[in-house]
Amino acid sequence: MKPKALKSGDKVAIIAPASAIKKENIKTTETAVRSLDLEPIFYPSCYMREGHLAGPDRQRSKDVNDAFKNDDIKGIFCIRGGYGTPRILNMIDYDYIKNNPKIFLGYSDITGLHLAFNNLCEMPTLHGPMPSSESPYHNTDIYTLNSLKNNLFRNEPLGRYIPPEKEELEIISSGECTGEIIGGNLSLLTVGLGTKYQINTKGKIIFIEEVNELNYIIDRMLTSLDLNNKFKECSGIILGTWKNCKADKGANDKKDSSLYKIFSDILGKYDIPIVNNFRAGHIYPQFTIPLGTKVYLNADKKEIVFLESINK
């Protein structure tokens, strides 16, 4: 069930399904969305705070449901990530959303909703920059902006991935495959394990990224996915960026294994294509990924081709 592409002047809902934002970021967010020639409609969660969350669970989930059920709203932008989406997954009206798809944008903690929408609603979603104060909407780099616009306003496949300058893909394991791309933030991929919201990897290409974690913790989370056969069932893996992820000193002042060794040990044992340094996640410039669409991956040629548009 594909959403319709946005067009100039469309109203888009701004929601906060995870962490709260600072009040001064409301104005910068409005400016950001209007710079795309879209009209932002702020939902109550954007103005609320309850501890580390943008209001109580019932309000944040209500905003998600209300945004999908409002016919005037043509797209939904999450204002930021942080933490909170796993707490509202049982409160979303998936039956309605499945039959009424809309553009849905966010990343990081929003991975929880991406997985639910991709799996339960069979609706593709956008893993891309959010209109908060740190967004490139305000200090625009052309690469990020063009990638976002191509997903929001067009109904044509993105085609071959062209990385930002000096950010070449790294080969972890050889091979080629075609499959639906799914995934997101590693922490959120592990949260849903054992539930109906867990990532479904059978025959698919997994995208994984993380931020601010020690290498051994990344090892632990990847191992959790491995123990649940998530890599055994998939067709290929695209590893993203690992901002501020680093080795920690352990016993006898010896450092953790490198990320390359961790990837090779845990993922490389499977006969599937794997690449690293796909520029999406907690960095800029970043590429907006149409999750839930078909992709071709050739690790030996360092080639990724997006074969399907998110929009109808």
Q: How confident is the model over 24-39, as a mean pLDDT?
A: 93
pLDDT of residue 299: 98
pLDDT at 135 over 70: no
Report pLDDT for 121: 97
Per-residue model confidence (pLDDT) at position 220: 97
Is residue 85 scored above 80 in pLDDT? yes
Q: Are strands 176-185 and 205-211 parallel, antiparallel or unpaired?
A: parallel
Over the stretch 166-187, which tens digit does the pLDDT of each residue have? 999 999 999 999 999 999 999 9
Q: Which residues does 169 contact at the CB level (< 8 Å), separation at least 6?
A: 163, 275, 276, 277, 278, 302, 304
Residue 55 CA to residue 145 CA, distance in Å, equals 30
For 45-77, the pLDDT digits (tens) are 999 999 999 999 999 999 999 999 999 999 999
Query: Structure tokens of 58?
Result: 């019932």
DSSP the chain: -PPPPP-TT-EEEEE-SSB---TTHHHHHHHHHHTTT-EEEE-GGGG--BTTBSS-HHHHHHHHHHHHH-TTEEEEEE---SS-GGGGGGGS-HHHHHHS--EEEE-GGGHHHHHHHHHHS---EEE---SSTTSTTTS--HHHHHHHHHHHH--S--EE--PPTT---EEEE--EEEEEEEEEEHHHHHHTTTSTTS---TT-EEEEEEES-BHHHHHHHHHHHHHTTTTTS-SEEEEEEEET-B--B-GGGPBPPPHHHHHHHHTTTSSS-EEE--S-SSSSS-PPEEETSEEEEETTTTEEEE-S-S--
Give the pLDDT of residue 1. Answer: 87
Q: What is the pTM of this model?
A: 0.96
Query: Residues 132, 235, 282, 309: which is the catalytic one?
Result: 282
| pLDDT for residue 283 is more than 70 | yes
Q: Which of 19, 45, 61, 108 is catalytic?
A: 108
Among residues 114, 127, 135, 209, which one is catalytic?
A: 209
Q: Which of 117, 20, 29, 1 is nearest to 65 (CA)?
A: 117
pLDDT band at 140 (very low <50, low <70, confident <90, very high): low
Tokens encoding 63: 């905003």
* N-terminal to C-terminal alpha carbon distance within the chain: 9
Q: Is the pLDDT assigned to residue 134 strictly greater than 80?
A: no
Q: What is the pLDDT of residue 255?
A: 73
pLDDT at position 256: 77
Across 188-216, average pLDDT: 97
| Domains assigned to the chain | 11-153 (3.40.50.10740), 161-306 (3.50.30.60)
- Asked if the model's pLDDT at residue 138 lies above 90, the reply is no
Determine whether 282 is an active site residue. Answer: yes
Residue 252 has pLDDT above 60, yes or no: no
Provide mean pLDDT across the span 134-139.
64
Q: What's the pLDDT at 197?
A: 96
Closest to 312 in 3D by CA, of 116, 96, 123, 120: 123
Residue 211 has what pLDDT? Answer: 97
Residue 41 pLDDT more than 90?
A: yes
Lowest mean per-residue pLDDT among 17-26, 237-246, 247-256, 297-306: 247-256
